[in-house]
Amino acid sequence: MSIDTIKPRLRFFEGAAGQQHIPETDKYLYAVAPPVHRLAIIGTGTIGQEHMRVARLLGRAAVHGIFDCEQRSIDIALANYAAQEMSLPEEQRQPAPIVYTSLENACNDAAVDAVMICTPNYTHFDVLKVAMASGKAIFLEKPMATTLSDAAATVALARDYQSFVQIGLQYRYKAQYVESLHEALVRRSVGEIRMISMSEYRPPFLDKVGQWNKFNHLSGGTLVEKCCHYFDLINLFAGVQPTRVYASAGQSGVFDGLTRDGRKSDIDDNAFVIIDYENGCRANFTLNMCSPDFTEELCLVGTHGRLIATERFDVHHRQEAATSLRLELGELGSSKESVLGYASVIERSGHHGATYFEHAAFLDRLEGKEPIEGGAATPLQGLWSMLIASAAQESSKTGNAVEMADYIEANGLASVLGESFAAN
């Protein structure tokens, strides 16, 4: 029986015990198309395993091989992958990924169509240079680098690259932000956006191998490592170039007892950031890592109304994320409140479903399909998100606002960024 790729997946039924009597010849809604592409995953830590899991769930690409310098990470990744396979009907199971003996072998395997770089931040640029020698499509996790010079070099290399490089700014694909971008930029529901406010209240950063995410020189700093997600979104909503950044950030003592090789953890765990844009729009971002649960909020205020999008992830009660969007237009139009979310199996796959749709966007590009509005993040957009984060960290250190024109010039970025923000 032929497989229609437009039909819905009935994942909750195709694997159910009571449906296993359906023979292969009669499967239509239960039929699963074989993967078309093959991926090499570089780095099998937390996010690397998430990409393995999501790629398998999406089903359009097989995880052909993996590479990591840590044998324990490889062993755990393979064990988790095997457990995922065992949960599937036997006819849908795929063989375990091969384990490469070197980075070069992983990137240059002729059987692989694309390389996904999921290694610690401080290795991104060096791994990327090896991967780009292959000429394959590349997915590079955020942040694209830990320094502006390496990020700028990545943009320059990507411009002349025979394939493409996509940056892993997957918050664009969270349900509440997909809907907010559509309301604000396509429907223009709130009119001209004048103020943007975003916040993240969360527990402290999770443990990593070597605890690299707790040290500025390895992670790029908290505002680069994690908050580039939010600066990317703020840039998308503002749509023009930032002119000034001011920030106050510090440490609440969360990681005071953490040392490695005689060095004490030095990352910030709380921050306020204010951004001015050239069209008069203003934005602010708040981070706090002392919260017992995860809460995000976006508030847009425009000339016609206000939009509020929220996400709360209750880890204590192991509940899926509760997301919502509220549009308040007063006398200028119809107000509404919506509960948002993806199918449960997708929600649980990683970052509340955002990674799943990020993979879909990557494979769409691999297949030459036109990207959707606000879709896959480019290296240039990744650099802009890093630029605001880096300027905020500089402002926090000096206590002074950072004029972006001067900061761009001082870091030699003018030629890479181009003449206008529209180059994004």
Measure the CA–CA gap between 237 and 214, rounded to whole angstroms: 30
- Among 142, 170, 198, give the residue marking a domain's end: 170
Q: Is residue 139 part of a domain?
A: yes
Distances (CA, A) of 380 to 35, 148, 419: 30, 12, 13
Q: What is the DSSP string of 59-77?
A: -SEEEEEEE-S-HHHHHHH
Q: How would you write the pLDDT of the chain (424 residues) with one tens digit per residue?
A: 444 556 777 877 887 889 889 888 898 888 888 899 999 999 999 999 999 999 999 999 999 999 999 999 999 999 999 999 988 878 788 999 999 999 999 999 999 999 999 999 999 999 999 999 999 999 999 999 999 999 999 999 999 999 999 999 999 999 999 999 999 999 999 999 999 999 999 999 999 999 999 999 999 999 999 999 999 999 999 999 999 999 999 999 999 999 999 999 999 999 999 999 999 999 999 999 999 999 999 999 999 999 999 999 887 777 778 999 999 999 999 999 999 999 888 999 999 999 999 999 999 999 998 776 667 999 999 999 999 999 999 999 999 999 999 999 999 999 999 855 655 6
Check whether residue 262 and residue 403 sit in a common domain: yes
In terms of domains, do 88 and 187 share one? no
Global pTM reads 0.94
Q: How far is CA 55 from the centre of its chain?
A: 15
In a domain, 126, yes or no: yes
Residue 88's domain is classified under what CATH number? Answer: 3.40.50.720
Tell me the C-alpha distance between 94 and 76, whole Å.
18
Residues whose CB falls within 8 Å of the CB of residue 417, separated by 6 or more in sequence, listed in order? 380, 383, 384, 387, 408, 423
Residues 18 and 104 in one domain: yes
Same domain, 176 and 164: no
At residue 204, the 3 state secondary structure works out as coil
Give the residue from 135, 170, 205 where a domain finishes.
Answer: 170
Query: Are 272 and 403 in a shared domain?
Result: yes
Determine, yes or no, domain membership for 326: yes
CA distance 367 to 163: 11
Measure the CA–CA gap between 167 and 376, rounded to whole angstroms: 7
DSSP-derived letter for residue 260 is E
Structure tokens belonging to residue 338: 């919506």
Same domain, 181 and 291: yes
Both 330 and 210 in a single domain? yes
CATH code (residue 230)? 3.30.360.10
Instruction: Please check whether residue 348 lies inside any domain of the structure.
Output: no
Q: State both tokens at 106.
A: 């992983």
Nearest to 354 by CA among 268, 304, 296, 315: 296
The two structure tokens encoding residue 221: 């700093």
Would you say 169 and 382 are in contact if contact means Cβ atoms under 8 Å apart? yes
pLDDT at 164: 96
Percent of the chain predicted with pLDDT > 70: 96
Whether residue 82 is found in the same domain as residue 195 = no
- Residue at 94 is within a domain: yes
252 and 392 part of one domain: yes
Helix (H, G, I), strand (E, B) or coil at 37: strand
Do 327 and 382 fall within a single domain? yes
Whether residue 370 is contained in a domain is answered as: no
Instruction: List the helix and strand counts (H, then E) for the chain.
Output: 15, 17
Q: What is the pLDDT of residue 5?
A: 57
Res 9: pLDDT: 76
3-state secondary structure 341-410: CCCHHHHCCCHHHHHHHHHHHHHHHHCCCCCCCCCCECHHHHHHHHHHHHHHHHHHHHCCCEEHHHHHHH
pLDDT digits (tens, 9 = 90+) for 307-318: 999 999 887 777
Domain match, 191 and 245 both: yes
Distance from C-alpha of 317 to C-alpha of 325, rounded to nearest angstrom: 23
Per the document, the length of the chain is: 424
Name residue, tokens 């590479």.
67
Are residue 280 and residue 413 in the same domain, yes or no? yes
Give the pLDDT score at 3: 47
Domain that holds residue 139: 11-170
Q: What integer pLDDT is reported at residue 180 of this predicted model? A: 97
Q: Is residue 181 part of a domain?
A: yes
Which of the listed residues 154, 170, 186 is the one where a domain comes to its end? Answer: 170
